[in-house]
Amino acid sequence: MEFFLDTANLDQIREVNDLGLLDGVTTNPTLMSREGGDWREQASLICDAVDGPVSLEVIGTTHEEMIKEAKDLVSFGPNVVVKIPMIPEGLKALKELTEREIKTNVTLVFSPSQALLAAKLGATYVSPFVGRLDGLGQSGMEAVDQMRTLFDNYAFNTKILVASVRHPMHVIESGLIGADVITLPYATIMQLMQHPLTDKGLAAFLADWEAFQAEQQ
């Protein structure tokens, strides 16, 4: 399973990259706006800082606007993936971007039927928003599981990119289902490596060693 970071923050991107855990980055207009400043400069710095794919999202809601923006976004780097919303105009844009061999991430996906349409039109990634579905009392993971079955049944190459992740169990469940990619908030990726028994165990090992060394003096 590939790990993407769901952020537009360069400090977070560099820190996770230094850990060796960064396979790519996803952004959206909300995440980009949180960083402030010139979004074009920020997008360019992110693309330079990341070896893997970087999703940059269009703002337009018509097919023509999305294609125009996509042409601009891909100029930020060879690793750009154009993120387009799962709306009818987005599907039109998706078809054209697939024909032009531009990588795409269809976002705001909440149902297996939406994922199926995106896969049929050649999306590189589909992004089911599991946390937002859970928040409505629906099962985000059940939707991902159905997407996995649909894609496998018809050998679609579209990758399932689990998004809107809220906690480590989303990561484990995504792995058990066989999702291709998960995009994680910085806090969740840090939670993955923590366990109180690790800290307690290390403290005991170090204390025992220190006592042993003292005895030998």
Select from 10-18, 128-136, 139-147, 209-217 the region that touches ligand G3P (CB under 6 A). Answer: 128-136
Residue 6 Cβ vs ligand G3P, minimum distance, rounded to whole Å: 5
> What is the DSSP secondary structure assignment for residue 75, as one 8-state letter?
G
- Name residues contacting ligand G3P, limited to 172-191 (CB under 6 A): 183
Candidate list 132, 168, 178, 180; residue touching ligand G3P; CB under 6 A = 132
- Distance between alpha carbon 79 and the CA centroid of its chain, in Å? 14
Instruction: Report the chain's terminal Cα–Cα distance, integer Å.
Output: 50
Number of helices (H), then strands (E), in the chain: 11, 8
* Calpha distance 45→10 (Å, rounded): 8
- Name residues contacting ligand G3P, limited to 3-42 (CB under 6 A): 6, 26, 28
Candidate list 29, 52, 131, 178; residue touching ligand G3P; CB under 6 A = 131
Select from 91-99, 126-134, 141-149, 150-158 the region that touches ligand G3P (CB under 6 A). Answer: 126-134
Select from 36-44, 129-137, 151-159, 200-208 the region that touches ligand G3P (CB under 6 A). Answer: 129-137
Q: How far is CA 75 from CA 41, 43, 69, in A?
A: 12, 11, 10
Active-site residue, 83 included: yes
Closest CA to 23 of 46, 1, 54, 2: 2
Q: Is 95 in the site for ligand G3P (CB under 6 A)?
A: no
Tokens, residue 203: 């403290």
Catalytic residue among 68, 71, 83, 95: 83
Return the active site residues: 83
